A and B are shown apart, each in its own frame.
Chain A
């Protein structure tokens, strides 16, 4: 792994960097409008590409939560044009590594013993960067362990990092500080949770336990006695990341098998556990030689509150989509429509939202669904269309439940992995369909 040659050292320096980015984005928009007024060409791809590049350049130089936000943005394909997404996807694999002495010090501080005393072998150079820490390979009695070590001081820097990312997010989404607040709070809470490896260990073990019956999915075993708040020791799972896996030219049949396993895993989490692994970026899944999906990194778990669950997911069902009264009610419950809204806005937003959910729920309406890039492009296209609505581009109040943030992010992540696998899989709404219909007295 490349060691970055410059680490922005102070909050001030970071701030300068990010302000610089904001200015550059502004410049890109200027260029875009200048070009448009001269050539009449309004293709935004160029614009998105230059923006993505500038944002990526500055975020990739920052560790910790800024990197996390980059990941977050890169996952949310709903809002982000593809140019952004591809650039950001890179940041999922490369963070500046900690120096080996710091790794050893951080481990020793947390565990009370040096990694060389705990393990027979310990690689001080990291295997991979996790957004708030990094992963090291260790061996003991012939068994391989993955040791995740947190960057020191990361939980403290989350708040200040987010503060600095705010102006960029505002620039990108055209939202004001006020509108972003409830979402930023949600992101901040989740990021803080992620710094607690005790929590991750408990949750990882719980999910692994309750999902043990799902076919072709494997989880690492966590080692409580070797872990601490800032060090997490688990089994090392051997496998390929999505991109590497695809380069091996696997058969479609095999890809479908992986995809099905992943889908079943998420379906069970969402509709049975009502709590999901909400960090489905490709780095968190391993494709093992035995044909199983290894799921790692349980730092980001979104618990889906019942109120939100019963208001949001019915919208995926045909029976509900054909019931305008119920839709109107649900739109209010998920905070897209507010009591004071005028009819024009209500109609426009409802139309747009129904259109989007119709498209997103296509997979649920057939026995077998084929995820393709064309399908994803359709989703982007509707996303772009929705974005043209003034009330979406410059909302008068924050619209959309904060809970939707991680749920959407998760599903867009899954959809995009499905498309990368060109997967054709069985998707039949299970028991949850009837449960939701009963809840709304439609059954």
Chain B
């Protein structure tokens, strides 16, 4: 049911360029009860926040089914999933362009990317990256969180790059993934990430 609702929502959005006027109107076109909608989503915003995370989860299932995936290192696993994710995004490009093309105010997209962030974080936890902390549990937890945030920023950057990419088969996005994650991985390996994240947070909250 959930998938079907999302599918119809995207269809509607692609055709009209905006949210349906009400859940009622939307359900009417789908010939279903309004209550069925609320069983899955609180409102359209919560539905939207699950679109990217649904794509992410689908991509993850796809790569996990591949034989070579099990033999990969954590870094390679993450990369594989990101490549699959971007590949999958293609199926929803029209909707994503309508929804996210205007990136001038990234904050605006925070809520609709929340679902993706949640799935992404729980995936990172499952990868069990080598812990290069300082040995104090609380601090290390913070560092790990910092790393997750930084990798998510990297993913958002890639997503944004892809939205603007006009190269054949989006091959520039592939190059972008390769290069940007190589940099992130290196920063993680050097433990420079926490410093960078701290600085980023400072900039974010102090520069308007």
With an 8 A cutoff between CB atoms, is A298 at the interface? no
Q: Are A102 and B68 in contact (CB under 8 A)?
A: no
**Within the complex, what minimum Cβ distance (angstroms) separates B201 from chain A?**
22
**Within the complex, what minimum Cβ distance (angstroms) separates A120 from chain B?**
12
Neighbour of A105 across the interface among B174, B179, B180, CB < 8 A:
B174
Q: Are B67 and A116 in contact (CB under 8 A)?
A: yes
Fill in one digit per residue for B148-183: 1 if any A CB lies within 8 Å of its CB, else 0.
Answer: 000000000000000000010101101101111011
Q: Are B171 and A102 in contact (CB under 8 A)?
A: no
A153-B167, A156-B167 known; A102 and B178 CB under 8 Å? yes
Q: Are A101 and B186 in contact (CB under 8 A)?
A: no
Interface core residue of B72, B171, B182, B186 (most chain A CB under 10 Å):
B171
Give Cα distance in the complex from A153 to B182, angstroms: 16
Instruction: Give the residues in chain B near A116, CB-CB below 8 Å.
Output: 66-68
Instruction: Give the residues in chain B near A156, CB-CB below 8 Å.
Output: 167, 172
Interface size on B, residues (CB 8 A): 25
Instruction: Give the residues in chain B near A441, CB-CB below 8 Å.
Output: none
Q: Are A7 and B68 in contact (CB under 8 A)?
A: no
Give Cα distance in the complex from A116 to B66, angstroms: 9
Query: B9-17, B75-83, B119-127: which one contacts chain A?
Result: B75-83
Instruction: Give the residues in chain B near A101, CB-CB below 8 Å.
Output: 72, 76, 79-80, 82-83
Within 8 A of B (CB), among A137-159: 151-153, 156
Neighbour of A100 across the interface among B76, B179, B180, B182, CB < 8 A:
B76
Q: Are A152 and B68 in contact (CB under 8 A)?
A: no
Give Cα distance in the complex from A5 to B80, angstroms: 19
Q: Are A109 and B76 in contact (CB under 8 A)?
A: no
Q: Are B178 and A99 in contact (CB under 8 A)?
A: yes
Instruction: Give the residues in chain A near B76, CB-CB below 8 Å.
Output: 99-101
Number of inter-chain CB pairs below 8 Å: 64
With an 8 A cutoff between CB atoms, is A114 at the interface? yes
Fill in one digit per residue for A98-142: 1 if any B CB lies within 8 Å of its CB, else 0.
Answer: 111110111001000010100000001000000000000000000
Interface size on A, residues (CB 8 A): 20
Residue of B nearest to A8 (CB): B179
**Within the complex, what minimum Cβ distance (angstroms) separates B173 from chain A?**
8
Instruction: Give the residues in chain B near A6, CB-CB below 8 Å.
Output: 182-183, 186
Within 8 A of B (CB), among A62-107: 98-102, 104-106
With an 8 A cutoff between CB atoms, is A9 at the interface? yes
Q: Are B174 and A5 in contact (CB under 8 A)?
A: no
**Within the complex, what minimum Cβ distance (angstroms) separates A265 from chain B?**
35
Fill in one digit per residue for B124-156: 1 if any A CB lies within 8 Å of its CB, else 0.
Answer: 000000000000000000000000000000000
Give Cα distance in the complex from A98 to B181, angstroms: 12
Give Cα distance in the complex from A124 to B186, angstroms: 21
With an 8 A cutoff between CB atoms, is B87 at the interface? yes
Neighbour of B180 across the interface among A5, A9, A98, A151, CB < 8 A:
A9
Q: Are A104 and B80 in contact (CB under 8 A)?
A: yes
Give Cα distance in the complex from A145 to B74, angstroms: 29
Q: Are A153 and B171 in contact (CB under 8 A)?
A: yes
Instruction: Give the residues in chain B near A100, CB-CB below 8 Å.
Output: 68, 72, 76, 80
Fill in one digit per residue for B51-81: 1 if any A CB lies within 8 Å of its CB, else 0.
Answer: 0000000000000001110001001100110
Q: Are B179 and A9 in contact (CB under 8 A)?
A: yes
A99-B79, A153-B172, A153-B175 known; A105 and B87 CB under 8 Å? yes
Give Cα distance in the complex from A408 to B75, angstroms: 45
Instruction: Give the residues in chain B near A104, CB-CB below 8 Å.
Output: 68, 80, 83
Instruction: Give the residues in chain B near A99, CB-CB below 8 Å.
Output: 75-76, 79, 178, 182
Interface core residue of A99, A101, A106, A109 (most chain B CB under 10 Å):
A101
Neighbour of A114 across the interface among B66, B72, B79, CB < 8 A:
B66
Give Cα distance in the complex from A9 to B66, angstroms: 29
Give Cα distance in the complex from A102 to B84, angstroms: 10
Instruction: Give the residues in chain A near B87, CB-CB below 8 Å.
Output: 105, 109
Q: Are A151 and B68 in contact (CB under 8 A)?
A: no
Q: Are A7 and B182 in contact (CB under 8 A)?
A: yes
Instruction: Give the residues in chain A near B178, CB-CB below 8 Å.
Output: 7, 98-99, 102, 152
Instruction: Give the residues in chain A near B72, CB-CB below 8 Å.
Output: 100-101
Instruction: Give the residues in chain A near B169, CB-CB below 8 Å.
Output: 109
Instruction: Give the residues in chain B near A102, CB-CB below 8 Å.
Output: 79, 83, 174, 177-178
Q: Are B186 and A5 in contact (CB under 8 A)?
A: yes
**Within the complex, what minimum Cβ distance (angstroms) separates A284 from chain B?**
25
Q: Are A124 and B68 in contact (CB under 8 A)?
A: yes
A9-B180, A99-B79, A101-B80 known; A152 and B174 CB under 8 Å? yes
Within 8 A of B (CB), among A40-60: none
Instruction: Give the residues in chain B near A124, CB-CB below 8 Å.
Output: 68
Give me the 4 closest cross-chain CB pairs, A-B, nearest first: A101-B80, A153-B175, A152-B171, A101-B79
24 contacts between A and B (CB under 8 A): A6-B183, A7-B179, A7-B183, A9-B179, A9-B180, A100-B72, A101-B72, A101-B76, A101-B79, A101-B80, A102-B174, A102-B177, A104-B80, A105-B87, A105-B174, A109-B169, A109-B171, A109-B174, A114-B66, A124-B68, A151-B175, A152-B171, A152-B174, A153-B175
Q: Other than A99-B182, A104-B80, A124-B68, give 17 A-B pairs with Cβ distance below 8 A.
A: A6-B182, A6-B186, A7-B179, A9-B179, A100-B76, A101-B83, A102-B174, A105-B80, A105-B87, A105-B174, A106-B174, A109-B169, A116-B66, A116-B68, A152-B172, A153-B167, A156-B167
